[in-house]
Amino acid sequence: MIEGEEGRKGAKRIQTYEEEVGGAMAMATTAGMSVRNVLWLWWKLLVLVSLTICVLAFLKLQNYSLSDSELSSSTSSISSRSRAVDYTGNPKVAFLFLVRRNLPLDFLWGNFFENADTGNFSIYVHSEPGFVFDESTTRSTFFYNRQLTNSIKVAWGESSMIQAEKLLLGTALDDPANQRFVLLSDSCVPLYNFSFIYSYLMASPRSFVDSFLDKKDVRYNPRMSPYIPMSKWRKGSQVIVPQSEL
């Protein structure tokens, strides 16, 4: 009986050992599957992030440069409007404001336009889409409802600035009385009174564009090419004064 009891105990120990070994193997198998699942999850996440970066880079590049068709169609549209009518009446100066949102120095410009003949100037403002100039957003009545209705989102230093400037010029050219165009930013201020500036611009046969080659400038981005080649890259002020004949 003692031997039978010992045999049963031995068999039980063997069974327990087999169960422990089987459990350990099952745990090892589960751990292996968990590692594979984690690695697979990380791989999918890496692929997703890579695709997202590629898409964002592509969209950034598209926003950074204008297509040839956009450039040619916009330029031809402006040119056709500038040649459409030979105006013989009282010429006006079109003040084109390219601003981020509101016009912080509107009170200075309000004083500038205060004593001017309203038949001698026009005002156009390109602000962010949906922004309206009224009594709640500007201190000068001269800017009430002067914003473009087809404005676009503009990022500094990108091709969207060129598009916004063309929208301003194109809108101003719809009025044949506008013979001089002054492109301004929200930080510009007048240094002379309206009478002096009007007389000076109308008497001058020239357009005024500040542009020069700065060999130390490092802001050119190769992604601008081929739409803006490095050989055409110049530094200058946003303020320009072209004539309608251009």
Higher-confidence residue of 34 and 114: namely 114
Q: Specify the 3-state DSSP secondary structure of 11.
A: helix
**What's the pLDDT score for residue 149?**
95
Element (H, E) at 235: strand 235-241
DSSP-derived letter for residue 243 is B
b/e 169-187 (16+ beta carbons within 10 angstroms → b): bbbbbeebbbbbbbbbebe
**What's the pLDDT score for residue 209?**
80
Does 91 sit behind a cis peptide bond, omega within 30 degrees of 0 on the bond before it? no
Residue 108 CA to residue 135 CA, distance in Å, equals 16
Domain residues of the chain, as ranges? 65-241
Confidence band for 66, pLDDT divided at 50, 70 and 90: very low
- Residues in contact with 181: Cβ distance below 8 Å, sequence separation at least 6, in sequence order: 93, 94, 96, 169, 172, 240, 241, 242, 243, 244
Dihedral over Cα of 120, 125, 126, 129: its sign: negative
Q: What are the angstrom distances between the C-alpha of 197 and each of 42, 77, 78, 92?
A: 65, 29, 25, 12
Taking the model in full, what pTM does it have? 0.63
Residue 127 CA to residue 186 CA, distance in Å, equals 10
Mean pLDDT of 15-38: 59
The answer to whether residue 162 scores a pLDDT higher than 90 is no
Range from 37-46, 55-64, 148-157 carrying the lowest mean pLDDT: 55-64
- Give the chain's count of helices (H) and strands (E): 5, 5
Q: What is the pLDDT of residues 68-104, one digit of tens each?
A: 444 445 555 555 554 445 677 899 999 999 999 999 9
Going by their DSSP bridges, the two strands 178-185 and 121-126 should be labelled as unpaired
